[in-house]
A and B are shown apart, each in its own frame.
Chain A
Amino acid sequence: MYGKGILKGLSVTWKRFWDTYTEDISWVMRGKKRYNTDEGIRHRSSKDTKGIFTVQYPEEQLIVPEEFRYVPFLVYDEGADGKKEVRCTSCGICAKVCPPQCIWIVRTNDPATGRPVPVPTDFYIDMDICMNCGFCSEYCPFDAIKMDHDFDIASYQRNVYNLEKLMKPAAYYAGIRPENYTREEEARKAKEAAKAAKAEASAAAAA
């Protein structure tokens, strides 16, 4: 029969249409909220999703995975007196590895000796050029530069971030990437312990 194929296809559309209601109703019956809740959003992007698929941005926001990367930021640790101790040593690796070359670092030189000091005087990232590749954070040997989760940065101006604007506390980093943070902290502690043990051993040997 001519038109059978169309009707068969329409049965799919009809089923999808029907599902949007049955799915909503089944959530209500179970006493759960399908919209504006983490559970609902997670379910909507799982393999079992049925019915309405979209997430109503900005009222709802997708839950981004830990590895999600947007633009980079610099991590600082809180010093004892509340001073911001930026982890960056201005070694320049990130500026060298950056594919579109959008990182600009001013290294600090000791005014007396002229020798480099391991803190940046200034640090610029041209966010309009940054291609969000994540190389800077991947190859930084000091865990000083990390990729942010905050993607709402649209603005009317060019976005060249300086050191001040790039700095975020280590606690923030731990918040957005808990697994990475824990792993790095453990590695750091292990390294420090090994160093201390080595120093002790050599001290013992000297004595």
Chain B
Amino acid sequence: MVTPLTATVDLVVRFPGTVAADVRPGYTGFIINKENLVEVATAVRDEFGYDLLTAVTAIDYIAENKMEVVYHAYKTTGGAGLVFRVQVERVDPIELPSLIDIWPGVDFQEREAWDLYGIKFTGHPDLRRILMWEGFEGHPLRKDWKEPFFEEETKPFKSRWPDGQHTFAENKNPFRDNLNFPKDFDPEKYVVDKEEDLYASLERYTTKDVEGNMKTDHIVVNLGPHHPSTHGVLRVAVTMDGETIIGLKPVMGYLHRNHDKIGERNTYLQNIPYTDRLDYFNSMSNNFGYCTTVEKLMKIPVAERAEYIRVIMAELSRIQNHLIFIGMLMNDLGTMYTPSLYAFEERELILDIFEAVSGARMMCNYFRFGGVVRDIPDDVLQKIKGLVSERLPAKTDEMERFLNENEILVARLKGIHVLNAEDAIKYSVTGPVLRATGVPYDLRRADPYSIYDRFDFDVAVRQNGDMMDNYLIRFDEIRQSLRILEQALKQIPQGPINSQKAAYQVRVPAGEAYGRIESPKGELGFYVVSNGKPNPYRYHVRPASFVNLTAVESMCRGTKIADFVALLAMLDIVMGELDR
């Protein structure tokens, strides 16, 4: 395991003059000269072995007139990460070399940084907006950009108290007065002409001869945004040669609400319920990731009992997520409803537990900095024990008996290639999809957080990387989660459930933290920068769904359109998290 300290020495020694250690209080890592970024990044990957670049994001230091891009690189063999960053003058055009040739997984994240911060990555082959719509003007995460109905920089707003006369936000701003439209723009007359850019980014149409004189064209098909197989409002533009996919681009952002910007207006505490809305199947995991990150920044411990409660909740969440995954995959393959409703039964029982402890089935809002909000009542603990020791193992077996040998399912899944290990790492894919390619990279083991190092469990791995393995690995993970749960339920101590006093305003010292957890869908990362004020200066979510989707084009090229639907289901995306 390489500790960040040895790495510090290495990188500065290796590149004297072009790399400097970041010495700002609360920050770690290196600042790299813009000109040498590609060279240093190549060395980081090849010489130092950081093969997985998980998070790329930007920060707008408007007071210092600087834009910063931060990269978080990790090793798939485990251990701590390497943070490196580039700072550039905040004068348009802001340009940086793209790292897409070194880590193709930066594709969407660089597009996001361009979209929301206006940083041009030279060398990126397809630098279009990704979350905002094509006619949009401005880059909304810049600190000087104001949203429609803008009230104040940070919450709480002064108009609410002590003289809070209720008004509807939209009444204050008649249509258009506070919307950032380009000059001479009339929404009534808008014709979407940027579509051409999208189609141009796909592989070109060609007219070719097939056997003598019959000519066929490649055709473009748009799946979605309203299509039952896309799990929400994802649109995918596909070029096809007959039934075979030759080019594909996901189009997203239909559910975009700029979660990051909202997060920067909120106080630290107010962000917790907002994280529930990211991956709405796993609000417990989202809470977990965010609270871990802020606790890292605040340098506070978590109460012992709360650690166990957190693990119990996160693992229950993983089980229900995987069950739903299996059910929904079946829906996509055409066996409507029966398997998914069987899965929903177990999910309901788990949600009942969430409801009893947190008050809500899906938007749990259960974690607080230093612990959780309330204790698990004894009868609920008994119910969890019953589920974990009796019902869930039996029902997992039943589900396997029900589906695994089904000839149609096997024909649809077995041998259909998803990804190989090399590509998966290249595209920064994490979670079960990566592990199904034979890479045993699970953050609960590779970079343990919370108390996962105390439990005895195996990292689920499968070797073939085909659809069948992607499907079966979910069952393996459910079984491992049950193992963790059994141990946690046995070991859970009595005691307080929060190490801190309940406070609605927390003090967070200046600095940065990147916290990541193994969410059921992959690596869920939160990057938070504090400047000591009550609101985060930068709040960024690195969602597993979004980054995993980077690999979808290479996954699907050459497969049949019918398999694409199943391939997309394999990635287990959820739009609340993908579009943020």
Contacts and interface: CB of A to CB of B under 8 A. Distances in A.
Contacts of A104: 159-161, 164-166
A65 interface: yes
Interface in A103-141: 103-107, 116, 124, 126, 131-135, 138-139
Interface residues of B, number: 54
A97 B408 CA distance: 53
A135 B504 contact: yes
A131 B363 contact: yes
A2 B411 CA distance: 12
A33 B404 CA distance: 37
B352 A45 contact: yes
Interface stretch (B314-322, B384-392, B438-446): B384-392
Interface string A1-31: 0111110110111001000000000000000
Interface string A56-87: 00000000110111000000000000000000
For A47, A49, A98, the residue with the greatest tally of chain B CB atoms inside 10 Å of its CB is A47
Contacts of B357: 67
Contacts of A124: 164, 166
Contacts of A145: none
Contact of A67 (B162, B165, B359): B359
A103 B345 CA distance: 37
A205 to B, nearest CB: 31
Contacts of B404: 5
A55 B362 CA distance: 19
B270 to A, nearest CB: 4
B206 interface: no
Contacts of A2: 407
A13 to B, nearest CB: 7
Contacts of A5: 404-407, 409-410
B185 interface: no
Contacts of B403: 9
Contacts of B387: 47
A9 B402 contact: yes
A93 interface: yes
Given A8-B401, A47-B390, A135-B269, A92 B161 contact: yes
Nearest to A12: B402
Nearest to B265: A101
Nearest to B388: A47
B356 to A, nearest CB: 4
A138 B373 contact: yes
Contact of B504 (A8, A49, A93): A93
Interface in B325-357: 338, 342, 345, 348-349, 352, 355-357
A135 B269 CA distance: 9
A138 B374 CA distance: 10
Contact of B363 (A93, A95, A132): A132
Interface string B33-45: 0000000000000
A67 B374 contact: yes
Interface in A153-169: 158, 160
A119 B270 CA distance: 26
B26 interface: no
B356 A65 contact: yes
A133 B365 contact: yes
Nearest to A13: B338
A46 to B, nearest CB: 8
Given A104-B166, A134-B365, A95 B161 contact: yes
Interface string B360-377: 100101000000011000
A40 interface: no
Nearest to B274: A99
B227 interface: no
Nearest to B164: A104
B359 A95 contact: no
Contacts of A64: 355
B407 A67 contact: no
B266 interface: yes
A96 B402 contact: no
B425 to A, nearest CB: 34
A106 B398 contact: no
A157 B166 CA distance: 16
A138 B502 contact: yes
Contacts of B409: 5
A132 to B, nearest CB: 7
A76 to B, nearest CB: 20
Contact of B406 (A9, A90, A135): A9
B356 A67 contact: yes
B428 interface: no
A106 B156 contact: no
A105 B266 contact: no
A92 B156 CA distance: 10
Given A2-B407, A13-B338, A97 B273 contact: no
B504 A116 contact: no
A147 interface: yes
B157 interface: yes
Contacts of A90: 161-162
Interface in B244-285: 266-267, 269-274
B179 to A, nearest CB: 20
B358 interface: yes
B412 interface: no
Nearest to B399: A12
Given A47-B391, A97-B156, 10 more contacts: A8-B406, A45-B348, A69-B359, A96-B504, A97-B270, A98-B156, A99-B266, A104-B160, A105-B164, A147-B359
Interface of B: 155-157, 159-166, 168, 266-267, 269-274, 338, 342, 345, 348-349, 352, 355-360, 363, 365, 373-374, 383, 386-387, 390-391, 398, 401-410, 502, 504
13 contacts: A9-B405, A12-B402, A45-B348, A47-B383, A47-B387, A53-B345, A67-B355, A97-B504, A99-B271, A101-B160, A105-B164, A124-B166, A134-B359
Q: Which 9 residue pairs are nearest across A and B when measured between Cβ atoms?
A: A5-B405, A104-B164, A107-B162, A133-B273, A69-B359, A99-B270, A92-B161, A124-B166, A96-B156
